[in-house]
Amino acid sequence: MISTNGSGSKKPSKRKKKIQSEHRIVMRGLTLDDYADVKEIMDIVFPEFDGAWKKNQFVSQITKFPEGQICIEDNGKVVGAAISQIVKWSDYGDNHTYEEIVGKGDLKNHNENGDSLYGVDIFVHPEYRGLRLGRRLYDARKELCEKLNLERIIVGAWMPGYENYEDSMTPAQYIEKVRDKEIYDTVLSFQLANGFHVRKLKRGYFGHTKGFSSYAVLLEWLNIYYEKEEIALIGGQKTVVRVGVVQMQMRPVAGIEELMHQVEFFVDTVAGYNVDFVLFPEFFNASLLARYNDRSPSDAMRALSSHTESIIEKMAEFAVSYNVNIISGSMPEYRDNTLHNVSYLCRRDGTYEEQYKLHITPDEDFYWGVKGGYNLSVFTTDACKIGILICFDVEFPELPRFLAEQGMDILFVPFYTDTKNGYNRVRHCAMARAIENECYVVISGSVGALPHVENMDIQYAQSAVFTPSDFAFPHDCVAAESVPNTEMTLIADLDLDLLKELRKKGSVRNLSNRRKDLYELKWIYES
């Protein structure tokens, strides 16, 4: 059932940054302790069904099929959940009712040897609508279906909007209009957008409920990976990670609002392809510099840094609402009278971390007075372990090797270069880092021009995704690359299992074949 509500520089200060997302989104399995939160939500969104499941029904659901009961919590409180069971579809077919398959809500018809995942309930607290949490719950159901090697997901759903068209069209015509996007139905449109198709139009599927049309639909999602073999349950690390790259054109903008409209457009577009990460270029917010043409380059960059906090707040919101981990390129940060170049990882659970640029180019120092940071981190995400190196940093092989020793799978490199020879330094060093560290490297740069903006007036870029060099990977070590100097996005799937295979059985094994009896890599600085 589906809810219808619907250098001489100071070292960085240790003080905690003020920028924090208000959300702490976590996807997990439901527990018996969650009943109060679940009851609160169900009482709000299902008043026509007398509210929530009873406590004994909830206990039975979790006891009989704990893997199928999924929730999303925010700051420790459940704000959405999905209840499921496994059935053998041939036992029910299309000619069943909701009560016949669900029973009294205690999952008495749950069949561990079944072939189909049936969606018993899904609901999100009304205060959290707009964060696309329902999509996350459905993605989790799909992942569970794939991991359990089930053939399909079946759900029953109202068509709440049909009551407004009962006198002018048949249910079948209404479904066709919704499918063609001529009519928006809060439930059916959502299901179709999540890859479900209408399997059967049903009258009286949910019984006779006051305030609803008697018509409902039986919807189906087919698992294209279904095989006649067992595979591991949900919960393991991803084996294929999808990355999105934004090659962004620099153009003067009226203000921060216009810039964030552009950023949200790219996040929305790339997230629509179900990516795990999206990478923006170094100094992607440099278009705001045009507002400070009357200032010196160093003063203009410090003025630009005043926008960093508000930009990160918005990007942290985008990460949650679009369900994608965002590497925010880089932006200037002015703290303790020192200017730094900083990249932010905004996770889709609402948390964020930062990586300072360590090596500063002569131009950054001369024109802007940027100073380097002191620490290097591997970041744990829900997809894999990643590293972030800003532009010039990738040209120092010690840094990626240090990250690789800590388990990094993907290295993200936001960059800014003005000429092709500068770009080639970044590109060829990034390719070398992928080979020598047996990892993937993703680079993203900006294109276009900013007239009259000193030291940022022209850009050259060809964003790309690089791989190690062995038989399992592309012959040229390029998984994807953009058209040079053209605003566009890239999408690439990166197989982590190939990295594991390479590190154990590759033609050569750069990491494991090192002569540690001769040399070592050591981090000297202590924070």
Does 230 score more than 60 pLDDT?
no
Give CATH 3.40.630.30 domain extents, the chain. 25-222
Tens digits of residue pLDDT in 44-65: 988 777 778 899 999 999 999 9
Does 353 score more than 70 pLDDT?
yes
Model pLDDT, residue 21:
66
Model pLDDT, residue 212:
55
Percent of the chain residues topping a pLDDT of 90: 74
Percent of the chain residues topping a pLDDT of 70: 93
Query: What is the rounded CA–CA span in Å between residue 144 and residue 153?
Result: 10
Model pLDDT, residue 20:
57
Tens digits of residue pLDDT in 93-108: 898 988 899 988 889 8
Does 209 score more than 60 pLDDT?
no
Which amino acids are annotated catalytic?
282, 357, 391
Query: What is the rounded CA–CA span in Å between residue 434 and residue 145?
Result: 34
Model pLDDT, residue 236:
53
Residue 71 pLDDT level (bands cut at 50, 70, 90): very high
Spell 228-241 as b/e; 16+ CB within 10 A means b: eeeeeebeeebeeb
User: Domain 240-505 - what CATH class?
Assistant: alpha beta
Query: What is the rounded CA–CA span in Å between residue 328 and residue 446?
Result: 13
Least confident of 204-218, 373-387, 500-514: 204-218
Least confident of 112-116, 200-204, 326-330, 360-364: 200-204
Structure-block tokens of residue 29: 């399995």
Mean pLDDT of the chain: 90
Model pLDDT, residue 211:
52
Contact 318, 270 (CB under 8 A): no
Phi, psi of 129 (to 5 degrees): -65, 145
Tens digits of residue pLDDT in 399-421: 999 999 999 999 999 999 999 99
Model pLDDT, residue 40:
95
Model pLDDT, residue 14:
47
Q: If you average pLDDT over residues 266-287, what whole number do you get?
A: 96
Asked whether the CA dihedral 143, 439, 264, 351 is positive or negative, the reply is positive
Model pLDDT, residue 1:
60
Give CATH 3.60.110.10 domain extents, the chain. 240-505
Tens digits of residue pLDDT in 288-308: 988 888 899 999 999 999 999
Pairing of the two strands 440-444 and 410-414: parallel
Spell 149-162 as b/e; 16+ CB within 10 A means b: bbbbbbbbbbbbbb
Rounded to 10 degrees, the C-alpha dihedral 269/270/276/278 comes to -120
Please name which of 324, 296, 285 lies closest in space to residue 135, comparing C-alpha atoms.
Answer: 324
Query: What is the rounded CA–CA span in Å between residue 227 and residue 18?
Result: 49
CATH for 25-222, options being 3.40.630.30, 3.40.50.1970, 1.20.1740.10, 3.30.2010.10: 3.40.630.30
3-state class (DSSP) for residue 332: strand
CA distance to 87, 150, 477, per residue, from 103 (Å): 12, 21, 55
Query: What is the rounded CA–CA span in Å between residue 66 and residue 517?
Result: 50
Which H or E element spans position 237?
Answer: none
Model pLDDT, residue 9:
44
Kindly report the number of other CB atoms within 10 A of residue 164's CB atom.
12
Q: If you average pLDDT over residues 343-366, what whole number do you get?
A: 96
**Residue at token pair 């059916």:** 188
Tens digits of residue pLDDT in 143-176: 999 999 999 999 999 898 998 998 999 999 999 9
Q: Which residue has the higher pLDDT, 324 or 454?
A: 324
The answer to whether the predicted template modeling score (pTM) of the entire model surpasses 0.95 is: no
Tens digits of residue pLDDT in 5-49: 444 444 444 444 445 568 899 999 999 999 999 999 999 988 777
